[in-house]
């Protein structure tokens, strides 16, 4: 299986990268490229962050490029209060040169074949919508798209009805659902908010990371997110939306879903970014989404534990990754 990750790291996006790099080290996936979308912080800053995390994860060679600087039609809003001024909580990625050929990376990947290619978007869908408009023939070839976003029959986290990724670029979200060539696996807040990380679990992960350079920084990255969740009344813990999304995309955790037709409100101020899912066929439109309705969260954390062990082994120069891969497959 091959993966394109389009993300806006972002603290929970960072957890998604940590998992994908472990999976790539272990040979479970090929990580074709990482591109960034403007959301939690601007796309260039996201690329700086992603590049640093890829390096800490031992894969600085993964092709990386920053995507579009702003949403399709509205101004960019970022969220330093949630992810910190530079997007990585109390940590800071070193400055780096940022490439901008993100759509070339996507095209190259798509041209290698799309039967086993999974595009995972864990930020606003600006790049994906722009790609659909600019490169319709390549967009039409995508078979597997998984998206973190939306609040479906569930309270929003940005307005009473809208989730952050959809709210930041509502026109992009609406366009992608209108144009998608295949049903999108949609991991929305009702499910991803269940992927809760506690300080105790974080300490265990840091311990499992052993000598990986990540171990030095994960606490500083995550502590900011714990504090944010506490400030907004959700307790001293953190929702790791994007990690669960990646695990669902890869089919590594058990989950339930319903076929649905999803649309996103883009133009009204009150309902901006609100996602609506027709679960009863009232619109008489073809389903364009597989709406994830539940996921086996413990299994997801089990995979993250495995990822930390992989990173520890990589740091220790232990080549016995095949063993880890089988060990997980047998569980
Ligand atoms: C989403 O918003 C972002 O802040 C997170 O990274 C996640 O992708 C959750 O609403
Ligand atoms: Ca994100």
Distance 284 CA to ligand 2 centre (A): 32
CB 277 within 8 A of CB 152: yes
Pocket test for ligand 1, best of 6, 11, 12 (most atoms within 8 A of CB): 12
> Which numbered ligand comes closest to the C-alpha of 36?
2
> Cα separation of 18 and 117, whole Å?
19
**pLDDT band with cut points at 50, 70 and 90 for residue 320:** low
Which ligand 1 atom sits closest to the C-alpha of 241? 7
Q: What is the mean pLDDT of the chain?
A: 96
Q: For 286-299, write each residue's pLDDT tens digit.
A: 999 999 999 999 99
pLDDT beyond 80 at 321? no
Return the minimum-mean-pLDDT range out of 122-126, 209-213, 317-321. 317-321
> Cα separation of 141 and 136, whole Å?
9
Distance 320 CA to ligand 2 centre (A): 32
pLDDT at residue number 108: 98
CB 228 within 8 A of CB 82: yes
Q: For 134-147, write each residue's pLDDT tens digit.
A: 999 999 999 999 99
Q: How far is CA 192 from CA 140, 181, 189, 252, 309, in A?
A: 28, 24, 5, 15, 24
pLDDT at residue number 318: 73
> Which numbered ligand comes closest to the C-alpha of 78?
1
Which ligand 1 atom sits closest to the C-alpha of 192? 9
Which ligand 1 atom sits closest to the C-alpha of 242? 8
- Predicted TM-score (pTM) of the model is 0.96
**Beta carbons within 10 angstroms of residue 98's beta carbon:** 17
pLDDT beyond 90 at 305? yes
Distance 56 CA to ligand 1 centre (A): 22
pLDDT beyond 70 at 322? no
Distance 41 CA to ligand 2 centre (A): 10
Distance 37 CA to ligand 1 centre (A): 12
> Cα separation of 79 and 85, whole Å?
8
Per-residue tokens: 76 = 């960019």
> Which numbered ligand comes closest to the C-alpha of 89?
1
Which ligand 1 atom sits closest to the C-alpha of 11? 6
pLDDT at residue number 325: 57
Q: Average of pLDDT values for 90-100?
A: 97
**pLDDT band with cut points at 50, 70 and 90 for residue 328:** low
pLDDT at residue number 259: 97
> Cα separation of 120 and 6, whole Å?
6
pLDDT beyond 90 at 331? no
pLDDT at residue number 203: 98
Which ligand 1 atom sits closest to the C-alpha of 83? 4
Q: Which residue has the tokens 């990268």?
A: 17
pLDDT at residue number 231: 97
**pLDDT band with cut points at 50, 70 and 90 for residue 327:** low
Ligand 1 pocket, Cβ-based, cut-off 6 angstroms: 10, 12-13, 40, 79, 82, 122-123, 148, 157, 163-165, 241-242
pLDDT beyond 90 at 23? yes
pLDDT beyond 70 at 94? yes
């Amino acid at each position: 299986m091959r993966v394109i990750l389009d993300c806006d790291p972002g603290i929970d996006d960072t957890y998604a990268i940590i998992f994908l790099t472990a999976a790539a080290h272990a040979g479970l996936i090929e990580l074709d490229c990482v591109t960034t979308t403007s959301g939690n912080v601007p796309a260039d800053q996201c690329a700086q962050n992603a590049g640093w995390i890829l390096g800490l994860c031992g894969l600085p060679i993964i092709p990386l490029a920053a995507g579009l600087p702003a949403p399709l039609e509205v101004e960019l809003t970022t969220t330093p209060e949630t992810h910190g001024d530079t997007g990585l909580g109390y940590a800071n990625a070193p400055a780096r040169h940022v490439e901008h050929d993100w759509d070339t990376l996507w095209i190259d990947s798509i041209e290698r074949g799309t039967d086993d290619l999974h595009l995972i978007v864990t930020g606003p869908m600006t790049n994906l919508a722009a790609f659909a408009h600019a490169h319709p023939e390549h967009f039409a070839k995508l078979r597997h798209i998984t998206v973190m976003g939306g609040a479906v029959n569930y309270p929003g986290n940005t307005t009473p009805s809208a989730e952050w990724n959809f709210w930041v670029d509502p026109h992009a979200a609406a366009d992608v659902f209108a144009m998608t060539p295949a049903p999108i696996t949609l991991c929305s807040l009702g499910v991803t908010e269940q992927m809760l990380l506690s300080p105790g679990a974080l300490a265990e992960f840091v311990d499992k990371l052993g000598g990986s350079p990540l171990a030095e920084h994960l606490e500083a990255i995550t502590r900011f997110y714990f504090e944010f969740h506490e400030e907004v009344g959700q307790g001293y813990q953190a929702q790791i939306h994007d990690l669960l999304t990646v695990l669902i995309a890869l089919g590594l955790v058990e989950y339930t879903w319903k076929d649905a037709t999803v649309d996103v409100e883009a133009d009204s101020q009150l309902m901006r970014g609100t996602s609506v899912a027709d679960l009863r066929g009232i619109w008489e439109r073809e389903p364009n989404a597989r709406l994830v309705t539940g996921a086996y969260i413990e299994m997801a954390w089990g995979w993250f534990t495995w990822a930390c062990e992989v990173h520890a082994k990589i740091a220790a120069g232990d080549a016995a990754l095949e063993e880890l891969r089988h060990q997980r497959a047998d569980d």
